[in-house]
Amino acid sequence: MKRTISVEVGKGSVNHNSRKFKAENVDGARSHLNIDYCNERIQDVYQMLFGAAQERFNARQKRVDRRIPNYYEKICTGHQEKPFHEIIIQIGNKDDMSALGENAELAKTVLNEYYQGFQARNPNLYVFSAHLHMDEATPHLHIDFVPFITGSKRGLDTRVSLKQALAAQGFKGGTRSDTEWNQWVRSEKADLAAKMERHGIEWEQKGTHDKHLSVLDYKKQERSCEVQQLGEEIDERRCEVHNLQQQAEKYKQALEDCKLTEDMLETAPEYQLPELPALMSAKTYKTRFVDALVERLKKLAKTLLARYFEVLNDYFRVNANNGKLYHENKNLRADNAWLSQKNDRLKIENRNYSLLRKRLGKQQLDALVEQAKAAKHTTRSKNETRER
C-alpha cells in the first residue's frame, strides 16, 4: 500500500479544531471519533512560557514606555512574529484514505502514533492545541504550537521566534528553497513515513512538494513562507536597531555625567581647597589638603578615562554595525517587496486557475495541462536535436 503525506500550514482556527463551532464539511455524527489531545488557553500559555522573562525585561528598563505590559498582545499587534503556528498532517487523500473507508482506523492509528512523539521531537515548539479529526472527508491532524527560544540576548531572554526555535533544533536554512521551515517539514514527513512503514504503508513521494496542493497553491505557500522568513529577519534587524538606540541613550547619559562632573569640580566641597589657616605652615597645608585633593582628582581622572575609552569603543562598534544594518535592511525590504508582488500575482493566477477548473472541469483541464507539457517537451527535444 502506497500513500502520500501532506503537511500544510493551517489557518489556526482553534475554535473550529476543537469543534466549538462546526463548518459545513463536518459530519457531527462522527465527531465523537475525534481525539482531543490538548486545548490550552493561549494567554495562559504565554504567561507560563514568557511571564518570568517579561518581568526580568521590565525590571531592566529605566524608562516606563519601554516596558512590556502584555507580551501576548505585543506579539498579536506586531508584524514580526505570529502568536502561534499550525500544521495539518494527512496521509493519502479522500479517494484512497477516506474517513468512511476501510483504511480510516489505520490512518487514525498512524497519526496518533506520530503525534505522541511530536513534543519530544520539538522541544522548542510548545503544543497547546492538538486534535485528530475523523469527522471530515479524510482523517487528519491539527497541531497548534508556540515557537520559543531561551537565552536570547535581545529583548526578552525567552521570546517567540519560529526561525530561531527551529535553528535551536538543528534546522538552519541556507537558501530560500532550503529554509529552516522546509528542512523541518521534511524531517517531520520522514518521521511519519517511518511510522507508516511499520503499519505496511509505503510513502509515495510525488516530486519535491505536496501534490495535494495545485502548483499555484504550492508556489503561493512557498512565497508566504519566504515572506514570513524575511519578516523574521527584519525583526532581528529591528532588535539590533533597538540596541543601537539603547547605546545612544548611554552616550546621552555619558554627556550628562560629564556635565555633572564639571559642576562637581567647580562647586563640591571635597574638590575645593580651603583658605590657608593662620599659623599653618605650607608643608602642613600641602600634606593635609593639597595631597588629599590630588589623590581624589587622580581617582576621578582614572574613572573618567575608563568611561571615555568604553564609550569610544562602543561608538566605533555601533557605527560599524549601523552601516551594516542599513544595507541589510535595505536589501531585505527590496526582497520583501518583490516577494509580496509575486505572491499577489500568484493569487490572481490561482483565482483564474480555479475559475477555469470550475468552467472546464477537472478532467478536461488536467488533459489540457498534460497536452501543454507534452508540447513543451517535444519542442525542447527538437531544440536539443538541432543543437547537436
The stretch 139-157 carries a mean pLDDT of 94
**Which of 103, 305, 307, 308 is CA-nearest to residue 200?**
103
Q: How far is CA 342 from CA 46, 82, 145, in A?
A: 34, 22, 28
Choose from 91-105, 116-130, 348-362 the range with maximum mean pLDDT: 116-130
- Residue with the bigger pLDDT between 25 and 265: it is 25
Give pLDDT, residue 265: 65
Checking if the pLDDT of 120 tops 90, the result is: yes
**How many of the other CB atoms lie within 10 Å of CB of 282?**
9
Checking if the pLDDT of 319 tops 70, the result is: no
C-alpha cell at 163: 526561525
16-39 tens-digit pLDDT:
888 787 777 888 889 999 999 999
The stretch 113-140 carries a mean pLDDT of 94
Where are any strands of DSSP class E within the chain? 2-3, 5-9, 35-39, 85-91, 125-133, 140-149, 159-160, 202-203
DSSP state, residue 127: E
270-287 tens-digit pLDDT:
767 777 777 777 788 778
pTM of the predicted protein model: 0.56
Give the confidence band of 349 by pLDDT, cuts at 50, 70, 90: confident
**Quick one: CA torsion of 134, 139, 145, 147, rounded to 10 degrees?**
180
Question: Any idea which of 193-202, 313-322, 362-371 has the lowest mean pLDDT?
Answer: 313-322
174-197 tens-digit pLDDT:
667 778 999 999 999 999 999 999
Give pLDDT, residue 198: 92
In sequence order, what are the residues at sequence separation of 6 or more whose Cβ sits closer than 8 angstroms to the Cβ of residue 120? none
Give pLDDT, residue 277: 78
38-80 tens-digit pLDDT:
999 999 999 999 999 999 999 999 888 889 999 999 999 888 8
Give the C-alpha separation, 240 to 80, whole Å. Answer: 14
Give the C-alpha separation, 89 to 184, whole Å. Answer: 13
Checking if the pLDDT of 213 tops 70, the result is: no
Give pLDDT, residue 212: 44
Q: Provide the CB-side half-sphere exposure for 324 (13 A, CA).
A: 9
